[in-house]
Amino acid sequence: MSAAGQPQGARAPLGGSDPHVVGERGGDSLPEGVQRVAAALADKNHPHAPVMLADAARTAQQAADALGIEVGQIAKSIIFRRKADGMAVLVITSGDRRVDEKKVEALVGKIGRADAEFVKAKTGFSIGGVSPVAHAEPPLTLVDRELFRFAEIWAAAGHPHGVFKLRPQDLESLAGAPVADVTQAPTL
């Protein structure tokens, strides 16, 4: 964290008081995906607006490094394709865990990997910036119980540079999703 309380490498939040930071990338407008996420968060009275990181955070480790937090505090959004009907299945998992596809299948039916084109079409976001909210088509969503190890977590905000802060319990209401055991046992 910086002395001003901003995560290191983060830009001013939406509506922030530092237009020079937000404006670095060509004006004060934010990417369309981040605007959608910000609107969805505001509609649900979420107290934390998205912030833009100075560098892309396409992986959980990159995001954690940029924010100065543990990688487990990153809520990564993993999209699968349900084989029965082609529906997007979103698994929001802790950044230091791997999804156990067999556990997910036990809850939602057979799934397959989703390619970049499928992810963009179903969510409206590119891989590396998939938010847990504001999808183009509502996915079937599961929240990883491992996120509840932390009081505060961060999730992608619709762009590889965009993130927002929340509590694990916020995911249940923001994403309208149940909490489930969806990860592999950690290796020591």
Residue 56 domain-assigned (yes or no): yes
Residue 185 domain-assigned (yes or no): no
Q: Read off the CATH number of the domain in which 101 is found.
A: 3.90.960.10
58 or 41, greater pLDDT = 41
CA distance 26 to 107: 44
For 153, residues 6+ apart whose C-beta sits below 8 A from its C-beta are: 73, 74, 75, 94, 147, 165, 166, 167, 168
Confidence of residue 57 (pLDDT cuts 50, 70, 90): confident
- Split into its structural domains, the chain has a count of 1
Residue 72 domain-assigned (yes or no): yes
DSSP string, 128-142: T---SS--SSPPEEE
125 or 2, greater pLDDT = 125
Residue 168 domain-assigned (yes or no): yes
Residue 8 domain-assigned (yes or no): no
Residue 188 domain-assigned (yes or no): no
Residue 41 domain-assigned (yes or no): yes
Q: What is the model's pLDDT at position 29?
A: 82
Residue 1 domain-assigned (yes or no): no
Domain enclosing residue 142, as ranges: 19-180
Prediction pTM value: 0.84
Mean pLDDT of the chain: 86
Q: What is the model's pLDDT at position 131?
A: 97
Confidence of residue 1 (pLDDT cuts 50, 70, 90): very low
Helices (H), ranges, 44-162? 60-67, 101-108, 116-123
Give yes or no for residue 27 having a pLDDT over 70.
no
- Top-confidence range, 13-27, 44-58, 104-118: 104-118
Q: What is the model's pLDDT at position 56?
A: 84
